[in-house]
């Protein structure tokens, strides 16, 4: 079945011409996250011969994506998009969208739990039903803590697909070698934690 579909697609693409499209050029675009699984015949000249690789967004890109995704959300003043963008290395747009959704879910659970704890002190038939007032609703927002908790629940696609792993070893597990540890922290860890300082010094 797959071969027949590929053959039909090849025929249609090879049959394109200005004479058959009333002089109007036709551009065929496609997107995939598995380019190696595409039939080589489709990637030959005259077909899909121009390829643009779009990798995972960098820190600045993640920052803009997070701001865009959170535009309609009610956010707390303590939310730090710069910090979130640093903590989401390897996340693509879909991962960041899932992160904002999870942060919203965490916030709703936190707020609902707090409301129930308060209502339990007041005898009422409907005390377990959350019915916030307009004033209470105006105070509801998503905090930085909600996003941090959501980070532990949403894995980047690259990690799920096996492209990278997160080791369980910490600096506390490494004994002795104090001088080497200091050199590694200075050369590897600090540029990741505080990139702005290194950029300001011209060290990138």
Return d(Cα 17, Cα 183) in angstroms, integer: 62
The pLDDT value recorded for residue 102 is 94
Q: Which of 162, 180, 160, 159 is nearest to 171 (CA)?
A: 180
Return d(Cα 152, Cα 150) in angstroms, integer: 5
CATH fold label, 59-165: Helicase, Ruva Protein; domain 3 (1.10.8)
Return d(Cα 18, Cα 32) in angstroms, integer: 28
The answer to whether the CB of 50 falls within 8 A of the CB of 17 is: no
SS (H, E, C) 50-66: CCCCCCCCCHHHHHHHH
Whole-model pTM? 0.60
Range of lowest pLDDT (65-69, 89-93, 117-121, 180-184): 117-121
Structure tokens that stand for 135 in this block: 């004033």
Return d(Cα 117, Cα 127) in angstroms, integer: 10
The pLDDT value recorded for residue 186 is 82
pLDDT single digits (tens) 88-101: 988 999 999 999 99
Instruction: Give helix then strand counts, H and E, for the chain.
Output: 10, 0
Give the confidence band of 198 by pLDDT, cuts at 50, 70, 90: confident
Give the confidence band of 180 by pLDDT, cuts at 50, 70, 90: confident
pLDDT single digits (tens) 30-56: 888 888 888 899 998 888 888 988 888
Mean of pLDDT values over 99-119: 80
The pLDDT value recorded for residue 185 is 81
The pLDDT value recorded for residue 167 is 57
Question: Which sequence spans correspond to the domains of the chain?
Answer: 2-43, 59-165, 167-204
Tell me what the pLDDT averaged over the chain comes to: 81
Give the confidence band of 81 by pLDDT, cuts at 50, 70, 90: very high
Return d(Cα 12, Cα 153) in angstroms, integer: 45
The pLDDT value recorded for residue 1 is 59
The pLDDT value recorded for residue 116 is 60
The answer to whether the CB of 131 falls within 8 A of the CB of 102 is: no
pLDDT single digits (tens) 26-35: 888 988 888 8
The pLDDT value recorded for residue 135 is 66
The answer to whether the CB of 148 falls within 8 A of the CB of 131 is: no
Return d(Cα 81, Cα 63) in angstroms, integer: 6
pLDDT single digits (tens) 127-172: 455 566 666 666 678 999 999 999 999 988 777 665 555 555 676 7
Return d(Cα 189, Cα 140) in angstroms, integer: 36
DSSP-H helix ranges across the chain: 2-14, 59-69, 81-87, 93-119, 134-138, 144-151, 157-160, 178-184, 190-193, 195-200
């Amino acid at each position: 079945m797959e071969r027949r579909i590929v053959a039909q697609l090849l025929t249609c693409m090879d049959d394109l011409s200005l004479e058959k499209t009333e002089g109007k050029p036709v551009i065929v675009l496609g997107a995939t996250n598995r380019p190696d699984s595409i039939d080589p015949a489709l990637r030959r000249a005259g077909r899909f011969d121009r390829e643009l690789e779009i990798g995972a967004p960098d820190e600045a890109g993640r920052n803009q994506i997070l701001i865009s995704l959170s535009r309609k959300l009610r956010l707390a003043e303590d939310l730090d998009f710069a910090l979130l963008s640093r903590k989401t290395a390897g996340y693509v747009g879909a991962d960041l969208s899932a992160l904002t959704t999870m942060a919203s879910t965490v916030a709703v659970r936190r707020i609902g739990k707090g409301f129930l704890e308060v209502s339990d002190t007041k005898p009422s038939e409907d005390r377990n039903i959350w019915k916030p007032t307009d004033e209470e609703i105006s105070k509801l927002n998503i905090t930085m803590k909600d996003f941090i908790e959501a980070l532990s629940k949403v894995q980047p696609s690259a990690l799920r697909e096996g492209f990278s792993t997160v080791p369980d070893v910490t600096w506390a597990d490494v004994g002795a070698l104090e001088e080497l540890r200091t050199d590694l922290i200075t050369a590897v860890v600090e540029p990741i934690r505080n990139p702005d300082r290194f950029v300001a010094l011209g060290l990138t």
